[in-house]
Structure 1
Amino acid sequence: MFRNNWKRILLVLSLIQTILIAATATSIWTFAGESELLEADAAIVLGTKVIGNEPSPVLEQRIKHAIDLYEAGYVEKIIFTGGTTDGAAIAESEVSRDFAIRHHIPEEDILIETQSLITEENFLFAGEVAEENGLSSFLVVSDPLHMKRALLMAEHAGIDAHSSPTPSTEFKGFTNIAPFFAREVVCYMAYVAVHAVI
């Protein structure tokens, strides 16, 4: 009898876990398609890997999207985020800034922070840069599947942020998308769980 009760409890817990994972995955996938094209003070571009002194293909897509937003008049400034990661010799934000300048974005309209190593820190230090420069509304630029977690982090950082995912992504095909998507589901659930406890 006792053993049967435990089996039922474990079955119920397993079912609840499966439902939570499925609901989270659906939410992230659906949110990835949302883009809020509205005017804001600045675009916050979330950093990611660089290769030497050049942006990785993923980071390049983010920079190019921010440039498009700037040139279309949606933002007046671009804040590039990201410190020195993966043994790189130069910060992600510095690589992003240099790329944007080469693509005719005025240097005076580019702001950077070079301290962050993770997404939460991207927003923490971008928020400090924004406050120093009197900026209060933002479009967040990242990959579509990263946007739901990113916007939640921005909210927790007290940043008035709106979603502006890259229209194209380097994560193409099942073999590329699946690991990234699975990671996002796990990271989102872990982030929510941690903040529910705090």
Structure 2
Amino acid sequence: MSTAARRSRPTPPPAPERRGIGAGIARWARRIVVGVLLAAIAVVAGTAVRVWQVARIDDWSHADAIVVLGAAQYSGTPSSVFQARLDQAVRLYENGVSDTVVTVGGKQEGDLYTEAAAGKNYLMSRGVPGDAIVAVEEGTDTLLSVEAVSREMHERGLSSAVLVSDPWHSLRTRTMARDAGLDAWTAPTRTGPAVFTRESQMHGIARETGALVWYQVTHGSADFPYTAAQ
């Protein structure tokens, strides 16, 4: 056979067995990717449902302390979000849920007051005795605040807490508090900007779903600039 004839001879196709192995690997790779995506969607959807379910819980059982999660304050004046939480704490205190109220939260650079101090002053203006209020002036996010409260309560021999925050924040605060060693349940505020509109409710559920998934994966701080309540 001539050299030209050998060069023009077509290359034989791959063996059927090799093609079958390659196609099988590709199919399994696609299945794995689809499976991971479906699992991720299921986790996010399941978490969103739990955020919504726990937001509806309003447990006024007696506790060692009523814990008010901090929010923004302006020169000692609580923001509307924070005020709604504090007003709920007053109602719980007046109904005998606990004789101790804990406010928590540090301050941002340039602030004159901590969130905890602003919260304590507001509660006193509403008639809660100063000696019934413990101001934990630590924490720049939910996780740090909850851990600071847990340390303070354990030092005082207190172990159970009813947590007051926005409804959509309830599951994350409860999860963190229990992880920190507290026997915790929730009685969120039903007033304030967090519950005013359907849009604010959906935004709260979406925000808290993402923040809680992040916490469950990393066990680190789950508050980002877009999750901070004002």
- Structure 2, unaligned runs of 5 or more: 1-22, 220-230
Give the equivalent residue in structure 1 for 2:8: none
Give the equivalent residue in structure 1 for 2:176: 153
| 1:60 aligned onto 2:83 | yes
Q: Contact 2:120/2:133 (CA < 8 Å) preserved in 1?
A: yes
Indicate the structure (1 or 2) with the bigger Cα radius of gyration: 2
CA deviation after TM superposition for structure 1 residue 92, in Å: 0.4
Q: Which amino acid aligns with 2:113?
A: I
Q: Deviations over 1:64-101 (max 9, x none)?
A: 01111111111101000000036432100111011111
Q: Which amino acid aligns with 1:10?
A: V
* Deviating more after overlay: 122-131 vs 182-191: 122-131
Give the equivalent residue in structure 2 for 1:189: 213
- Structure 1, unaligned runs of 5 or more: none
Q: Contact 2:68/2:101 (CA < 8 Å) preserved in 1?
A: yes
Give the equivalent residue in structure 2 for 1:178: 202
* Deviating more after overlay: 146-155 vs 129-138: 129-138
- Count of paired positions: 196
Q: Normalization by structure 2: what TM-score?
A: 0.79
Q: Which amino acid aligns with 1:142?
A: S
* Deviating more after overlay: 40-49 vs 8-17: 8-17
Cα RMSD (Å): 1.8
Q: Which runs of 4+ in 1 moved over 4 A?
A: none
| 1:35 aligned onto 2:54 | no
Q: What SS is found at the alignment partner of 2:40?
A: helix
Q: Normalization by structure 1: what TM-score?
A: 0.91
